Structure 1
Amino acid sequence: MVHRTTNLHLVSDSTGETLNSIARAALSRFEEHHVVHHRWSLVRSRLNLDRVLEGIEHEPGPVLFTLVDKSLRMALEETCGRLGVACLSVLDPVVNLLQHEIGTRAVSKRAAQHVMDADYFRRIDAMHYVLAHDDGQGTAGIANADVVLVGVSRSSKTPTCFYLANRGVKAANIPLVPGAELPPELENPPCPVVGLTIDVSALVDIRRSRLKIIGAGGVRMGETDYVNIEAVKAEILTARRLCASRGWPVIDVTRRSIEETAATVLQQVELWHTKRGNQAEHRPEDPAAAVLGQQN
């Protein structure tokens, strides 16, 4: 099979995040195919578009775009038609479907998903919360958390919390350290607690790489429990037993991306609230539940 290179042009009048996400999801299904991404963002004038058109003509390839301005759209589509290049407005099929179902026309509004509304400020607030409650900091603030992640060192707690914050979820994380006691706030937590675990070999590899990065060469790696496979195995087992004894669900992150881990955490948060809802007829609204409601 001959593998050729494909130029893919992503043209947006905003940041291009939507196009990047769509392209990444679609291209993940095309293995071993080399795609050169040409990202054109903030295309809001004819002068900006002329640069894009020159680029497409110089390196032809399919074009995905999100442009609100009708004149810019028309110019782009005409040039692509002349060059024989495929061109697609990625949001049109979804917008058209929703217009039909909702019964009203969509507003022609550039970068509408990036407006500074209540949802935007909730995400910013959640990001500040994660920064202040990372790696066991500020445990008193757990009272304001939407979820707490626990797990051994290097089990993806921090990156998962930051991903959740981008969804408006206040996530604290607590490391499970051998011999160290849990903070008292977790004796009767006011929010769901989710454990993260990982395969022993994978964790040892991650920790070895970590030691190399921070320059911990003064100690031979085999001599520290941090990367000793038997010690790490016992550490993970102890953490899992702790979670089981507290009734905390555990997610194995070994073969999960951060996005997949975060999605599973949100499922556990929803399940926690559902169980509490069955136990008590009324409960106060919380930000995590609001985020989950928007995702469903």
Structure 2
Amino acid sequence: MPARQINLHLVSDSTGETLNSIARATLARFDDQHVVHHRWSLVRSRLQLDRVLEGIEHEPGPVLYTVADSSLRLALEEACGRLGLPCLSPLDPVMELLQGTLGARAKEKRAAQHVMDADYFRRIDAMHYVLSHDDGQGTAGIRNADVVLVGVSRSSKTPTCFYLANRGIKAANVPIVPGAPLPAALEEPPCPVVGLHIEVNALIEIRRHRLRIIGAGGVRQDATDYIDPEAVKAEIIAARRLCTSRGWPVIDVTRRSIEETAATVLQLMEAWHARRKDGAVATAPEDPAAAVLGRPEGA
């Protein structure tokens, strides 16, 4: 039976990122979804809310909202009640739980997570760091990194670093290139080093796509070691063995999203610091998902 199309209204007095994340996470659990998103952000006055209500009435559907102003919340809820539409503030149950636990009332403060505090500037600083230390650049600055990602070309090092930067993590990445030495700073790295592994066929497909985008500069796609199956396999095995010899943990990113890879990097960082604190001998922990994803060939 085909799913019917619905309108979903996301109403926020800030950027709407929280609602977007909630909607994306929940709708991912439904197959064949036919949902039209209507995003209403920075709704901070009654005039702006009236325009939102006109849109909701014109294209009715359930409403999710994050609005701090009590008068605007009440007006939105009453309007949805008159229209017979479900209306929900997803953060309210969490807020009530914390208020009961902390014994304090939450303030009516919009966009509290976006204030320009020390954490905000830490994330901006981390983003600048990633830009300056991407793909082996600025190797002298590795001593200031929180983590270094290594791996063959196109193994998702850069997007993972940018995701980590959004968490305030200064992440450098260094490509493992056949015949090229690693930066001297990685001989005795001052921070965790994590290898990213990807399966041969997946990497070849990504690299083929890359060549198509850049036009390959006239290079025949079937004649370059960049996508030659045997050469790519040897490159991946050599990178894996290098990480093993250095005691660096390796994450298989073949079937992982960037978010999942970043989460595993953070776990490995915590383990690295815990071992340093306890004075334990550094060993290379296995990829936490190796049992599920399988071990790389030649490992």
- How would you bin the TM-score normalised by the shorter chain? over 0.9
Alignment partner of 1:136 is 2:147? no
Q: Which position in structure 2 is the counterpart of 1:2?
A: 2
- Structure 1 position 90, deviation (Å): 1.2
TM-score of the two chains, using structure 2 as the length reference: 0.92
Structure-to-structure mapping, 1:98-113, within 5 angstroms: 98-113=98-113
- Structure 1 position 10, deviation (Å): 0.3
How many angstroms apart in 2 are the aligned matches of 1:35 and 1:253?
30
1:132-190 C-alpha deviation (Å, 9 max, x unpaired): 00000000101000000000000000000000000000000000000000111000000
Q: Which amino acid aligns with 2:48?
A: N
Q: Which position in structure 2 is the counterpart of 1:97?
A: 97
Alignment partner of 1:210 is 2:231? no
- Structure 1 position 2, deviation (Å): 2.2
Alignment partner of 1:154 is 2:154? yes
Q: Which position in structure 1 is the counterpart of 2:74?
A: 74
Q: Which position in structure 2 is the counterpart of 1:34?
A: 34
1:212-268 C-alpha deviation (Å, 9 max, x unpaired): 100115121110000111110110000000000001000011111111100000000
Of 93-102 and 208-217, more deviation after overlay is shown by 208-217
**What SS does the corresponding residue of 2:218 show, helix, strand or coil?**
coil
How many angstroms apart in 2 are the aligned matches of 1:150 and 1:186?
10
**What SS does the corresponding residue of 1:150 show, helix, strand or coil?**
strand
Alignment partner of 1:201 is 2:204? no
**What SS does the corresponding residue of 1:221 show, helix, strand or coil?**
coil
**What SS does the corresponding residue of 1:2 show, helix, strand or coil?**
coil
**What SS does the corresponding residue of 1:97 show, helix, strand or coil?**
helix
Gaps of 5+ in 2: 281-299
Gaps of 5+ in 1: 281-296
How many angstroms apart in 1 are the aligned matches of 2:231 and 2:3?
46
Q: Which position in structure 2 is the counterpart of 1:220?
A: 220
How many angstroms apart in 2 are the aligned matches of 1:138 and 1:220?
32
Aligned residues: 280
How many angstroms apart in 2 are the aligned matches of 1:241 and 1:32?
43
Q: Which position in structure 2 is the counterpart of 1:269?
A: 269
Alignment partner of 1:171 is 2:171? yes
**What SS does the corresponding residue of 1:189 show, helix, strand or coil?**
coil
Q: Which position in structure 2 is the counterpart of 1:278?
A: 278
**Structure 1 runs of 4+ with >6 Å offset:** none
Q: Which position in structure 2 is the counterpart of 1:233?
A: 233
Q: 1:217 to 1:139 in 2, by over 3 A?
A: closer
- Structure 1 position 3, deviation (Å): 1.3
TM-score of the two chains, using structure 1 as the length reference: 0.93
How many angstroms apart in 2 are the aligned matches of 1:62 and 1:243?
50
- Structure 1 position 92, deviation (Å): 0.7
Q: Which position in structure 2 is the counterpart of 1:286?
A: none
How many angstroms apart in 1 are the aligned matches of 2:38 and 2:18?
15
**What SS does the corresponding residue of 1:20 show, helix, strand or coil?**
helix
